[in-house]
Amino acid sequence: MSAIPRRERLIVALDVPSAAEARALVERLGPAACFYKVGLELFVTAGYFELVNWLVKRGHKVFADLKMYDIPETVARAVANLRGRGITFVTVHGNQGIMQAAAKEKGDLKVLAVTVLTSLDRGDLDDLGFSCDVERLVLSRARRALEAGCDGVISSGLEAQRLKSEFHDRLLVVTPGIRPVDNKPADDQKRTVDVAQAFANGADYIVVGRPIRQAADPRAAAEATQKTIATIFP
């Protein structure tokens, strides 16, 4: 895989209620960020694709985090409809048929497979009927994602090291759930790491939402994250 531009390693999550608020946040961040996640919350509001087009025209990269989960034919058609829009990443859930269908139609997109959501822990997997531990499930789904033709996976930073050890540069590792070391217990993200830990463990990209969006000065928070990244990737 080609080298990743350092400032693109930070993906800012535009998890806000409206496209207007998303644009306002992008304007506020200015040059502190150049890669944005546009997810499900915005997808079900008016102006999703207008927002995507606006971001692309401004030279930003876009991560369509839609976590598609449907019959393979429907997923294939949905992925095909995203081609040619300037979108960089799209997510699907780690079902074999779904991943294969998405990979077949990806064109200029990179398909990322969701392994285990960072809001889930061992207790949640028990409730869902999985007998293996989180790391084993993540690795199993990553192997299947590679076989299906996906370009990468969404994974907690806690599993990134094992993923990179096994797959090296054959799979991108995109890590959400980035939190400060003093993360509040009330946060719904359970399997979290901080910026330095994520990259030390092998993440290629990090997705940061609330720690930037809810900061007193979002631009300063994004720049601080970029400075940390610059110490890791000089």
Residues marked active site are found at 67
CA distance 210 to 214: 5
Residues 21, 222 contacting (CB under 8 angstroms): no
CA distance 227 to 234: 10
CA distance 58 to 74: 31
Neighbouring-strand partners of residue 110: 89
Segment holding 207, helix H or strand E: strand 205-208
- Integer angstrom CA distances of residue 37 from 65, 79, 96, 130: 6, 16, 24, 29
Q: Where are the beta strands (DSSP E) in 21-175?
A: 35-39, 61-68, 89-93, 110-114, 152-154, 172-175
